[in-house]
Amino acid sequence: MDLNSQLLFFFSGLGAFNGLILGIFFLFFASPRHQSHQFLGWLLLALSLRVGKSVLYYFDHNLPDAYIQAGLLACWFIGPLLYFYVKSALGVLDKKNWEAKLQFSILIPIALALFFLFPRRQYEELWITVLIQIIYWQWIAYVLLAGYFIWKNYDKIRQAKKSIPSFRLWLLSIYIGNALICLAFNTAYHTSYITGALVFSFVFYLLILLLLFAKKRNELLFLKPPRFKENGIDSKEAELLIHQLEQLMNGEEWYKDPNLTLPKVAKQLKIQANKLSLLLNDNMNVSFSNYLNSKRIQAAKELIKNNSKLSFEAIGYDCGFNSKSAFYAAFKKHAGTTPARYMKSIFGEE
């Protein structure tokens, strides 16, 4: 192999190898966990398998037929994975992936049947004249369908990222790159068999550059960046913890402590502070400060009803607020009115 061939082998093969590594990263290590990462990871693995087969076959025509056949069948999944990656990244795919599960439940058995029932060694003519054409046309159909969804949602992409166009650049790079790879393999008979591998290497390193230089990776990877979320608390455990929290707050009136903090409450409940935060945010749909202030304002309303002679400032301090302004702001937020107007509504004063 001369120097030019060695360089060609190196650059075309390097993309396939690194694509394999990045695919594994998105499948198992990318954070936060998101369905689009799963589709992107499998897409990169399928592309790496297809491109790797092309690189090896270009330099060695004596490859085992099973590997050649696996590389060809990878194309059967590249289009669908691109299509579902686009939909999940745009947020138009149902969370339980019913559409994806249905389609892959059909695509996977077909691929297995082609691999085991029609081995390329015995049915080479069938593969060359029929099966490869069907696989490539299916690939093209899914690429066009993915492009349709990008076009259909382009206004939403542009409006969501007016000041930060990174997601648009990322998504279009993946889509256009896949479209070019598809075109390269479909025109290999008229150009060069190695073209698809070189296009993949170019697209892959473009994506790596985008990842490396993105200031906020979530804004690059998602149209609407998801909030980090830990594993949820079991419903039975959450019910018990909420009961204990309510008993602590209502029974012992801990909310009246102006220096009360989330770690203090968590310690009393004998759980970690992040677990209490998760309980409040996910199971009760409220932040700690809002939960605490709701308790304090409820107590303040009772005091106003039963002690009309107390000043509002004294009521605020008695309920756990450490300033008059904090009490008034919380009262307006949780009661929808001011303390004075609330008193008038109770006693009918003019």
**Residue ranges of the domains in the chain?**
3-221, 232-285, 293-350
User: Tokens 């082998």 correspond to what residue?
Assistant: 9
Report whether 269 contacts 242 (CB < 8 A): no
Element (H, E) at 129: none
Query: Using N-to-C axis directions, what is the helix angle for 339-347 and 288-306, rounded to 10°?
Result: 40
- Among residues 111, 57, 52, which one has the least CA distance to residue 79? 111
Q: How far apart are CA 34 and CA 14, in angstroms?
A: 27
Report whether 21 contacts 205 (CB < 8 A): no
Q: How far apart are CA 143 and CA 329, in angstroms?
A: 54
3-221 domain in CATH 1.10.10?
A: no
**pLDDT reported for residue 195:** 72
Q: Compute mean pLDDT per 10 residues along the chain, 350 residues long, and list them.
A: 61 75 86 82 90 76 80 91 91 79 94 91 88 93 93 74 64 87 76 66 72 60 56 78 89 87 90 88 86 91 82 88 89 88 74
User: Tokens 């648009």 correspond to what residue?
Assistant: 168
Q: Other C-beta atoms within 10 Å of 342: how many?
A: 20
Cβ burial, residue 336 (10 Å; 0-12/13-18/19+): exposed
The alpha carbons of the chain give a radius of gyration, in whole angstroms, of 30
Q: Which CATH number fits domain 293-350: 1.10.10.60, 2.30.130.10, 3.40.50.970, 3.40.718.10?
A: 1.10.10.60
**pLDDT reported for residue 23:** 87
Our CA dihedral for 332, 247, 282, 233, rounded to 10 degrees, sits at: 170
Report whether 249 contacts 63 (CB < 8 A): no
pTM (predicted TM-score): 0.61
**pLDDT reported for residue 113:** 93
**pLDDT reported for residue 294:** 92
The phi-psi region of residue 63 (left if phi > 0; otherwise alpha if psi is between -120 and 50; otherwise beta) is beta
**pLDDT reported for residue 45:** 92
